[in-house]
Amino acid sequence: MQKFLHLDEISAGDFPKAIAKLYDWLGYTTTIRDGFNDNYIDIIATKGQKNLAIQTKAYSLNFDKAHAVDKSVVNGLHSNLKDGQQGIIVTTGVFTSPAMEDAKRQSIKLYDRTAIYQLVVAANPNLAAEVLYRKSLDELNLSRCPKCHAGYLAKLYSSKKDKYYYQCLNCHEISYENQLD
pLDDT for the residue numbered 181: 44
- Give helix 14-25 / helix 113-123 axis angle, nearest 10°: 40
Closest alpha carbon to 94 in 129, 68, 63: 68
CATH number for the domain running over 2-134: 3.40.1350.10
pLDDT for the residue numbered 95: 93
The tens digit of pLDDT for each residue in 1-32 reads 556 767 778 888 899 999 999 999 999 999 99
CB atoms within 10 A of CB 23: 22
pLDDT for the residue numbered 65: 58
What contacts 105, CB < 8 A, 6 or more positions away? none
Low-confidence ranges of the chain (pLDDT < 70): 1-3, 5, 62-66, 177-181
Give one DSSP letter per residue of 97-158, joined into a string: HHHHHHHHHHT-EEE-HHHHHHHHHHH-HHHHHHHHHHHHHHHTTPPBPTTTSSSBEEEEEE
Distance of CA 176 to the CA centre of its chain: 37
Distance CA 62, CA 42 (A): 24
Q: Where are the domains of the chain?
A: 2-134, 142-175
At position 115, the amino acid (one-letter code) is A
